[in-house]
Amino acid sequence: MNNEFMTAQQAAEKWNISDRRVRVLCKDGKIPGAFKEGKAYKIPANAMKPADGRERKNDKKSTVRWLKWSNDVVGTIDSGNAVTFSDPEYNKVVSQYTRGMKSWTPEEFTEFLSERIVSRDRRDIEKVLFRCGLSHYDIFRIAEVTRGIHPKDLLWIAHDENERLDTVVTDVFDSVFHQKIDLTGDTIDTPEGYNIKRYGVYDGNYGIYKQRISPLTTDAESEVAVYLLAKKLDVPCCPAYRTNKDTVFSAFLFDFSKEYIVHFRRLFEGARSDNEYQNLISVRPQYKDDIARMILLDYITRQDDRHLSNIAIKMSDKNESFYPLYDNGRSLFYEDTEEMVAQAVADPINYATSFGYSGTYYDYVREIAEERGDLNGLINHDITKDEIIGILKAAEFKEYRFDGALQWLMKTIEIVRKLS
């Protein structure tokens, strides 16, 4: 912390709340003087912790909505948007959200909704608001329309205690996830995130259609290239296919009817250390090799957008597993200029992208190698230059980003090979 500003993680430690909560408060304008610089928030060092919105003892709020898992009530939502759980450990997924707590403050409920509802930063947010009958962004009013329904689990918001899930899902949601029919058209069902995207079906699988970020980016090409490369390197990854010039389909690898996705962000409680690799292992040590593979792939592909909300585990009633990697479009110089590409390719150690609060992917690759003694058995690094060229051509890379991606991949794979 310097004399003027602190980071979101430093504020989280100071105020004894999660760093995600701090970022939500910054985004919602609840911390005076906080502003975003690049991808991080800068918060005045003397900023006070915002009020948490807990109800005063004499303020009695009436139940106005019900939080349900499928058709079972797991909590009630009062008129002040505080949640009281009737069964905070209803199942493994609900337990990850509640962490055994019997209630949520309105801020904690907001955090829950932010993981299920379109972001205010969405590129087509005005169209989404129009479909919801709104003129401005209000996460609670959007939740009133969408009911907080999300394909990753069966949690949703009921307006009546006897209301059933199958009576409120939209035709689009029902077609995609129950019938595997790609029904397009205007809908309130839309994934969270910055990109313009929609739920859909491709080649018999449900997933997400994502549009290219801009005409100047190659995130569509990168999404496909990383998937093809991951297959060759033996790193589990969700399939990605180009469906037209500017659109990629990313398939879900879970059974919506009986499997659920929980992001790593939900596995943490309180502040984390500045070593994100060790943080991930601390909450799921059984996935140490999977986490190491992810870091190797992310270093090799110059991933620039890995965070706790796109690393996940897959849960069912009986077991859980590390979910295959996804959301790989922001990699392989997807938005970099020719000059930036040349600089990075010339020094793939010092130009490795960062991961977590501090440290680069190369730092973590070195740490993993030193910890294990070598990197053998994590990935298959026996890949030829011709195979990499074939992958980049299949993904339709062109010009300087083709050349840059080829050189970067060759050099980083060789670095990993030597550490092995």
Q: What angle do CA 65, 146, 136 make, to 5 degrees?
A: 100
pLDDT (mean) for 108-120: 90
Query: Do residues 152 and 58 lie in contact, with contact meaning Cβ atoms separated by under 8 Å?
Result: no
pTM: 0.82
Same domain, 312 and 373: yes
What is the average pLDDT across 157-174?
89
* Most confident by average pLDDT, 5-9, 72-76, 132-136: 72-76
Whether residue 363 is found in the same domain as residue 293? yes
pLDDT of residue 370: 94
Question: 351 with 295, same domain?
Answer: yes
Single residue among 138, 170, 202 that ends a domain in this structure: 170
With respect to residue 136, please indicate whether it lies within any of the assigned structural domains: yes
Residue type, 322: F
Residues spanned by the domain of 23? 5-44
- Indicate whether 358 pLDDT > 90: no
More confident residue, 284 or 26: 284
Counting Cα atoms < 13 Å in the Cβ hemisphere of 416 gives 31
The answer on 268 and 397 residing in a single domain is yes
The answer to whether residues 281 and 397 belong to one domain is yes
* Same domain flag for 137 and 40: no
Select from 110, 142, 170 the last residue of a domain: 170
Number of domains within the chain = 3
The CATH number of the domain holding residue 387 is 1.10.1070.20
- Do the domain assignments include residue 243? no
Query: Which range, 60-64, 100-104, 232-236, has the best average confidence (pLDDT)?
Result: 232-236
pLDDT, mean of residues 184-201: 80
CB atoms within 10 A of CB 229: 26
Helix (H, G, I), strand (E, B) or coil at 290: helix
365 inside domain:
yes
Q: Over the chain, what is the mean pLDDT?
A: 90
**Amino acid residing at 70:** S
Tell me: do 85 and 18 sit in the same domain: no
Query: Is there a single domain that holds both residue 353 and residue 295?
Result: yes
pLDDT for res 185: 64
Residue 251 lies in a domain: no
**Does the pLDDT at position 122 exceed 90?**
no
Please report whether residue 105 resides in a domain.
Answer: yes
- Choose the final residue of a domain: 130, 155, 170: 170
- pLDDT digit string, tens, across residues 25-84: 888 888 888 888 877 888 988 788 887 654 444 455 677 899 999 999 999 999 999 999
Q: Is residue 210 part of a domain?
A: no
* Buried/exposed 37-75: b ≥16 CB within 10 Å, e otherwise: eeeebbbeeebeebeeeeeeeeeeeeeebbbbbeeebbb
Asked if residue 347 has pLDDT above 90, the reply is yes
DSSP class per residue in 35-90: EEETTEEEEETTPPPPP--PPPTT----EEEEEEETTEEEEEEETTS-EEES-TTS
Domain assignment of residue 132, yes or no: yes
Does 328 share its domain with 364?
Answer: yes
* Mean pLDDT of all residues in 355-369: 93
Residue 186 has pLDDT above 70, yes or no: no
Q: Do 36 and 94 share a domain, yes or no?
A: no
Give a yes or no: residue 291 inside a domain. Answer: yes
Residue that the structure tokens 């849960």 belong to: 315
**Cα 197 to Cα 306: distance, rounded to the nearest angstrom:** 18
Ordered alpha helix ranges (H), 347-398 = 361-372, 385-394
pLDDT at 227 over 50: yes
